[in-house]
């Protein structure tokens, strides 16, 4: 008896320890909604269905509100007001709109203008679904209007002015990532400790899956042969964001050449030296905008920028060669058939 007691006590302690770390009643709740012309999918890990539903509802509402502020196509958005007032007057905007524009200007500066949110006049000339390409003359007329240095930000008044008439701000290269960050903040505010927000290819993760393993994000093959998405690699992440910019999302092929929606602000034509760029960083606003920036800069300069920013990167260049940062090597597994 005397000898056995400590063993039983140990066993009870061990059992208690196991119970307290085991996933208990945690479940995974998932919901998708169309926002910003794309599908937003949110996954949360939570012990109560009511808490999960309330968090999801508030989070989708916050994203929807942001989407309304920066909708390029709606006359009622703050972004459209900024664009209408170009060359005329500063527009007072809400804190989110000011902040996303300020971040866009930051990325533009860091990338030497490879990312430029004033790319609007050039974007407007292209129609990828309709396979329409602009003339060189139209592009050369639009290019002088593309310059992020002509965005005048007044933080004190929370106002934005585009210096020249005809300028158009397009936040398509950063807004989805920003929205994913808004969602992560809203989920955390609602007491969610673990989740994954996917705004198309812009993904923010936090915490772990219920089995205490990291979230796993698939990277698509930019030159898949069939209709179905082919995954070439999986990246394991917790507390990180990842975005992929690719030349296979919106494109057409004419005379054997691929024209796609990531445009080089220097030429007004599609950037040519990458097929796909994935960036891993702490926030999705950075991964979204920098994946576009690195894509435009190309594999060498782009990789240099990613490293300088302390980001992880996977670049598939125009020849199909893979470039990868050391930090990503321990988080990524390539599929065997590629
Ligand atoms: P996706 O929208 O497929 O996720 P990106 O995040 O790379 O791709 O953003 C592409 C969008 O950003 C384009 O549709 C366009 O609206 C805008 N854009 C295109 N080229 C640039 C650029 N060089 N700088 C900033 N925005 C750009
Ligand atoms: Mg992007």
For ligand 2, the distance from its centroid to the CA atom of residue 6, given in whole angstroms, is: 59
Query: Which helix or strand (DSSP H or E) is residue 322 part of?
Result: strand 322-324
Domains (range + CATH), the chain: 71-162 (1.10.3980.10), 214-338 (3.10.520.10)
User: Rounded to the nearest whole angstrom, what is the distance from the C-alpha of residue 55 to the centroid of ligand 2?
Assistant: 26
Q: What is the pLDDT of residues 229-269, one digit of tens each?
A: 899 999 999 999 999 999 998 999 998 999 999 999 999 99
pLDDT given for residue 4 in this prediction: 47
Three-class SS state of 168: coil
Question: To test ligand 1's pocket by mutation, which of 114, 292, 293, 302 has the most ligand atoms within 8 angstroms of CB?
Answer: 292
Spatial neighbors of 225 by CB under 8 A, at least 6 apart, are none
Neighbours of ion ligand 2 (CB under 5 A): 173, 245, 288, 291-292
Pocket of ligand 1 (CB under 6 A): 115-117, 119, 123, 170, 172-173, 200-201, 245, 249, 261-263, 265, 288, 292, 296
Residue 129 token pair:
């679904």
For the chain, report the end-to-end CA distance as a whole number of angstroms.
62
* CA nearest ligand 1 atom 16, residue: 172
Q: Could you tell me if 284 and 203 are in contact, meaning their C-beta atoms sit under 8 angstroms apart?
A: yes
pLDDT of residue 114: 98
Question: Whole-model pTM above 0.85?
Answer: yes
Half-sphere exposure of 203 (CA within 13 A, CB side): 25
Distance 86 CA to ligand 2 centre (A): 24
Residue 16's pLDDT is: 45
Looking at residue 207, what is its pLDDT?
A: 96
Nearest ligand 1 atom to alpha carbon 295: 7
pLDDT 10s digits, 52-93: 999 999 999 999 999 999 999 999 999 999 999 999 999 999
pLDDT value of residue 17:
44
For the CA of 201, the nearest atom of ligand 1: 4
Q: Specify which residues 243 forms β-bridges with.
A: 202, 279
Ligand 1 centre distance from Cα of residue 42 (Å):
23
Residue 19: per-residue pLDDT: 45
pLDDT of the residue at 1: 39
- Residues 221 and 256: their CA atoms lie apart, in Å, by 20
Residues 13 and 23: their CA atoms lie apart, in Å, by 18
Question: Which residues in the chain show pLDDT less than 70?
Answer: 1-24, 337-338
Instruction: Specify the ligand 1 atom closest to the Cα of 72.
Output: 16
């Amino acid at each position: 008896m005397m000898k056995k007691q400590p063993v039983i006590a140990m066993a009870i302690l061990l059992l208690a320890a196991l119970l307290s770390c085991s996933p208990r009643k945690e479940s995974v709740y998932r919901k998708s909604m169309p926002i910003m012309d794309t599908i937003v999918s949110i996954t949360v890990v939570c012990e109560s269905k009511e808490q999960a539903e309330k968090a999801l509802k508030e989070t989708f509402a916050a994203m929807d509100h942001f989407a309304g502020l920066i909708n390029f196509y709606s006359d009622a958005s703050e972004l459209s007001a900024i664009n209408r007032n170009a060359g005329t007057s500063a527009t007072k905007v809400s804190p989110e709109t000011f902040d996303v524009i300020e971040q866009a200007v930051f990325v533009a500066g860091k990338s030497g203008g490879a990312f430029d949110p004033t790319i609007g006049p050039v974007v407007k000339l292209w129609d990828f679904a309709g396979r329409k390409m602009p003339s060189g003359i139209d592009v050369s007329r639009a290019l002088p209007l593309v310059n992020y240095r002509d965005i005048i930000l007044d933080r004190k008044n929370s106002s934005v002015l585009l210096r020249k008439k005809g300028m158009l701000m397009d936040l398509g290269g950063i807004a989805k990532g920003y929205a994913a960050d808004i969602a992560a903040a809203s989920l955390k505010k609602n007491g969610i400790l673990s989740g994954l927000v996917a705004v198309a290819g812009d993904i923010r993760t936090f915490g772990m899956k219920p089995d205490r393993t990291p979230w796993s994000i698939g990277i698509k093959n930019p030159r898949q042969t069939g209709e179905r998405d082919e995954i070439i690699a999986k990246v394991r992440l917790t507390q990180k964001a990842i975005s992929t910019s690719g030349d296979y999302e919106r494109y057409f092929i004419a005379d054997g050449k691929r024209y796609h929606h990531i445009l080089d602000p220097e030429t007004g034509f599609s950037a040519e030296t990458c097929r796909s760029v994935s960036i891993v960083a702490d926030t999705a606003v950075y991964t979204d905008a920098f994946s576009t920036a690195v894509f435009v800069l190309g594999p060498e300069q782009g990789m240099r920028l990613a490293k300088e920013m302390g980001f992880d990167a996977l670049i598939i260049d125009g020849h199909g060669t893979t470039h990868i940062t050391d930090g990503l090597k321990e988080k990524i597994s390539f599929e065997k058939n590629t």
